[in-house]
Structure 1
Amino acid sequence: MTIQSLGVGSGLALDDLVTQLLSAEREPKEKRLNDKEERIEAEISALGQIKSKLSDFKETVDEMRRDSDINGREPTITHPSEDKDIFTAEASNSALRGSYEIAVTELASGSRIETADAAYTESTDQVLTDGLGSTTMTFKINNTGDSFTVSVTQNMTLAQLREAINNNENNFGVNANIIDTGTATGGAKLVFTSDVTGAGNDLVIVNDGDRAELDSLTTTDSTETATNLSPVKSATNAKATIDGIPVESETNEFENTIQNVSFEATSVSPLDTDGITRVTSTLEIGYDRDGLDKKIRDFVDNYNKIISDIQSLTRYGESDLEEDGALAGDSMLRGISNGLASIVGSSVDSSSLGGLFALGVELNSDGKLEIPTTDFGLGTGDERLEAALEDNFDEIAKLFTDEDQGIAVRLYEMANEYTSYSGLITLRERAAKDDKDQIADDRERFELRMVSYEQILRDRYLNLDQTVARLNQTGSALLAALG
């Protein structure tokens, strides 16, 4: 007889037996693989979490390790009216503290050129009709080297010339417009204005082909010796007074007129009651104490976030019901925590403040930074921080930015050591991912072994099934013969 499945011939539950044996073989080994994979995935997730937080912290200290980001100066401006700003100002870190009385007497302007009265009647008048073909006009500023050329074609209208000027891809700030005076004596005027400011920077329009019809649109011939149109308004400098001293600038921005300070004029100062004198605005250059105070407090908060994450990931559960952290007892994370604490607790010889304690920043018993509110005879943390900002502003920068001992410099280097492409956390992540790939290979090999084991079991019990089946047949035959 043909046995279709285990137990059919013998009547024994051999299929169930094979299933149970396979399950007994599979479950413990599969559980070990699952547990190992779960631990590795938790490790990869935890490493990614701490790497991300450490990278964010690195960005924070990256700003603080540069003097330009921490040692800022704060310009404060008081204008005659709160409704109108006369100028804005910026100061570099090396600007000296001081107060200045500034009045803007004139804004910088570009030049303006107009065609003569009655030179054209309307915008459709043709500017070139001599039949000699196309030519060009060149617009330039001699002092700056700015230049572009416009093609003038036969029968081009005044409006078309305007568009050709305004749409030229090399236009450096020349605007052409047509003003219709509405009178026969004025006619239509083509007006050229230049954005290039500063005395001596007048717009020059060259009649390149010396075509007579274009003399009415240009300031000079091709040799730049003849004079056609003249500016109705020349380009001018911006003018101001600083503590009564007259100063000028080609643009509205006065750079380094006050050393390491720049200010940009936006409007002219109002006249005083005498109708002659300009009312001054007060510019004070001082330390950006509020900005630095915030940077220090943000530094404390960001440091504590890193420590909290490390403590959470490395903790051991206090009871069987509380799970351990994903990296409980991990030596690398403990090394990060200890390294951070060592740096923030160290001294900086180049700063008279010595260390963070003089800023009111201390390490507490939990391994975190705090600005304490309790006074143990040296002032509260807030009081020490306020005193340092007031009396030792530049010394604070040295605490963080000294190239050898600076706290932010060393913290950045340490964070980079762990988070860079070849950093310790990155290498650890790669190793964990390799372990996870290995588990996938182990699973594949395990499945192959289980297939082989199942075949062995089925072959073994198939023989048993067939043997019992034959015995059953023999027994049945004997019973039948014995009647």
Structure 2
Amino acid sequence: MAGVTGIATGNDYTALITSIVNLEKSPKQTQLDTLSKSTTTKLTSLGQLKSAISDFQSALVALNSPSSFLARTAKSSDESIFKATATQSAAAGSYQVQVQQLAGTSKVALQSVASSTDVKFNSGTLKLSLGDSEVASIDIDPTNNTLAGVRDAINKQSSTSGITATIISDASGSRLVLNSTKSGDGNDIKVEVSGEGTNGDTSLSKLAFDPATAQSLASLTDADKAAGLGGYVTKAQSAKLTVDGLSVVSDTNTVTSAIEGVSINLTKVTAADTPVTLTVGRDEDGVKANVQKFVDAYNKLITYTNAQTKVTSVGEDKAPVTGPLVGDASIRSMLSAVRNEMVAPNANGGSFNSLASLGVTTKKDGTLEIDSDKLAKAVSSDFEGVSAYFTGDNGLASRLGGKLKAYTDADGILDQRTDILQRTLSSVDKQQSDLNLRIAALQDRLNKQFSTMDNLVAELTKTGNNLASQLASMPFANKNG
């Protein structure tokens, strides 16, 4: 609303009205601003607290997982020869592995033709096989009777046949090179031709290939190469190795049948009489890593709650600086429950009854620290005892998780606190809206009142001026007393 300029009085009442309005609004506005800021800060703090608790719970789940204690490792003494992985069913032990041969796939070069674009093959059918198994049957007709057309027809079925084709041109002309994705003895590529017609300029039989009679490309004479004869580049073969002197044959370089629960991924042949050691054991490093994650997540939770509930003195004449969650009973209750569980005896039995016996101790600020050597010794000497301390319904991880559940569940303690704070913010918004309406009404009323007053002064001034004029015109007005 525009200000009120006193035409009659010569005074601008805008500043006066603004001062009155601000004096009326300021106390309530300060109260609402303070409440809004503190409530928003608490909401943010509770959200970050819930995140810290969630991280701690995730660490507890990993620590309580039986699979983390049942996990096995498989280590090769020379990973350039092979790498290995192990499942829970693998038995701990050491094995000597000698790799004589890697598995390989079949790759063949078919007979060349004069040109990759001008040649038109006769119609017919190409049957592609891997060993004794037919994998594709391709009809050749005028729509695909070029070298490129045949290549595309083969590749169209590659997802099911396991055979891909490409065109390579050399001094003798152009030819199809076929590559298989299936390794193992006997899985060589074979191409048979049937039902050949006479509607092209080149015999379809040029594309036939029999691995039983074919030679390797490397063994062809110069005359054979100039004539464009086909041959195999590589033959399909199985991997061959020995494990502790026992012979093992595998169609692929991923060997899963040699040692129960162990997968060996071969990458290179070993030198003669130079076996590689494969060691299968418990995943002690994984367990130690999970204990470290547990400690890190707990320390994050404690560090955050310490900061949010801290009272900092800033001088005798000044109010202390307090964290947004100072005095929060639910936070104190949660931390007390967690700490009590961490010092409670282990109901599962076993040789470890406390975190300290595993090398995990509490510092002055309430956070934890790990004696890595003591933890490593405990895991190495009594793996089952460490597992019993942390896992199971009565293990530390499960007990701690149970204490935290009431705080982080849907409609749990933290959700209830969040709902209350959200309602407070909604109430602040409503009060702010009401205050704005009341102040607007006050300003409008003051504007009208001062405007009315100014008009009244103008009327009185006018009346006074008229009276003075009339008196001045009276007969006695010009006579001396």
TM-score computed with the length of structure 2 as normaliser: 0.78
1:446, distance to aligned residue in structure 2 (A): 1.2
Supply the distance in 1 between the matched residues of 2:292 and 2:85 (Cα, whole angstroms).
Answer: 24
Tell me the equivalent position of 1:457. Answer: 446
Name the amino acid aligned to 1:147: V
Residue 445 (structure 1) aligned to one of 431, 434, 443: 434
- The answer for the alignment partner of 1:376 in structure 2 is none
Spell out the pairing of 1:271-282 with structure 2 (5 A cutoff).
Answer: 271=272, 278-282=273-277
1:195 maps onto 2:196 in alignment: no
> Is 1:122 matched with 2:114?
yes
CA shift, 1:391, in A, is 0.7
Matches within 5 A, 1:193-232: 193-207=179-193, 209=195, 213-218=203-208
Counterpart contact for 2:8–2:457, Cα < 8 Å: yes
Shift of 1:412: 4.8
Partner of 1:377: none
Distance 2:438 2:51 in 1: 41
Q: Using the alignment, how far apart are the partners of 1:471 and 1:437 within structure 2?
A: 51
1:32-43 to structure 2, matched below 5 A, reads 32-43=31-42
Change (3 A) 1:217 1:14: closer
Structure 1: distance between partners of 2:355 and 2:365: 17
Aligned to 1:101: 96
- 3-state secondary structure, aligned to 2:165: strand
Contact kept in structure 1, 2:97 and 2:275, CA below 8 Å: yes
Q: Does 1:400 align with 2:381?
A: no
- Shift of the 386–146 alpha-carbon distance from structure 1 to 2, 3 Å rule, reads farther
- Pick closer, same or farther for the CA change 1:50–1:256 going to 2, 3 Å: farther
Q: Which residue of 2 aligns with 1:25?
A: 24
User: Which piece of structure 1 moves more, 433-442 or 301-310?
Assistant: 433-442
Q: Which moved more, 1:187-196 or 1:98-107?
A: 187-196
Partner of 2:300: 305
Where structure 1 has 5 or more consecutive residues not aligned to the other structure, the ranges are 221-226, 272-277, 372-380
Q: Which moved more, 1:7-16 or 1:59-68?
A: 7-16
- Is 1:316 aligned to residue 279 of structure 2? no
In the TM superposition, residue 364 of structure 1 has moved relative to its aligned partner by: 4.2
Distance across 1 between alignment mates of 2:320 and 2:19: 35
Instruction: Check whether the contact 2:9–2:454 (CA below 8 A) recurs between aligned residues.
Output: yes
Q: 1:56 to 1:455 in 2, by over 3 A?
A: same
Is 287-296 or 101-110 further displaced after alignment? 287-296
Counterpart code for 1:405:
N
Are 1:89 and 2:84 an aligned pair? yes
* Identity percentage of aligned residues: 28
| Residues 306 and 140 (structure 1), Cα distance of their counterparts in 2 relative to 1, 3 Å cut | farther
8 Å CA contact retained: 2:99, 2:268: yes
Report the equivalent of 1:252: 253
2:73 is equivalent to residue 74 of structure 1: yes
Aligned pair in 2 of structure 1 residues 393, 459: CA closer, same or farther (>3 Å)? same
Deviation string, structure 1 residues 254-300 (Cα, Å, up to 9, x no partner) = 115212221111111112xxxxxx42011122334344333323321
What secondary structure, in the 3-state scheme, does the structure 2 residue paired with 1:137 have? strand
Separation in 2, partners of 1:137, 1:20: 98
Q: Which residue of 1 aligns with 2:228?
A: none
CA root-mean-square deviation: 3.7
**1:211/1:26 CA distance change after superposition, 3 Å:** same
Aligned partner of residue 111 in structure 1, secondary structure: strand
Moved more, 316-325 or 250-259: 316-325
CA distance, structure 2, for counterparts of residue 180 and residue 22 of structure 1: 93
Q: Which residue of 2 aligns with 1:176?
A: 165
- Deviation per residue, 1:89-119 (Å, 9 max, x gap): 112244332111100111112234554xxx5
Residue 263 (structure 2) aligns with: 262
Determine the structure 1 residue equivalent to 2:227: none
User: What displacement does 1:462 show?
Assistant: 4.6
The verdict on how the C-alpha distance between 1:193 and 1:479 changes in structure 2, with shifts beyond 3 A counting, is closer
Q: Distance in 1 between matches of 2:338 and 2:257?
A: 41
Q: Distance in 1 between matches of 2:294 and 2:69?
A: 12
CA distance 1:356–1:94, shift in 2 (3 Å): farther
User: Residue 365 and residue 208 in structure 1: after superposition, are their counterparts in 2 closer, same or farther (change >3 A)?
Assistant: farther
Which one has a bigger Cα radius of gyration? Answer: 2
* Number of residue pairs aligned between Structure 1 and Structure 2: 444
Contact 1:6 1:13 (C-alpha < 8 Å) held by counterparts: yes
Structure 1 residue 437, shift from structure 2 partner = 3.3
Question: Relative to structure 2, which stretch is displaced further, 17-26 or 7-16?
Answer: 7-16
Q: Find the aligned partners of 1:434 and 1:29 in 2 and give their Cα distance.
A: 19
| Alpha-carbon offset, residue 245 of structure 1 | 0.7
- In the alignment, is the contact (CA less than 8 A) between 1:253 and 1:263 conserved in 2? yes
Alignment partners' CA distance in 2, 1:157 and 1:13: 98
Are residues 1:283 and 2:278 paired?
A: yes
2:152 is the alignment partner of 1:152 = no
Whether 1:361 aligns to 2:360 is yes
Q: Equivalent residue for 2:378?
A: 388
Q: Which runs of 5+ in 2 are unaligned?
A: 216-230
Contact map agreement 2:4 2:12 (CA 8 A) in 1: no
CA drift of 1:57 comes to 3.0
Deviation for aligned residue 1:19: 3.1
The verdict on how the C-alpha distance between 1:190 and 1:28 changes in structure 2, with shifts beyond 3 A counting, is closer
Distance 2:348 2:208 in 1: 65
Letter of the aligned partner of 2:279 in structure 1?
E
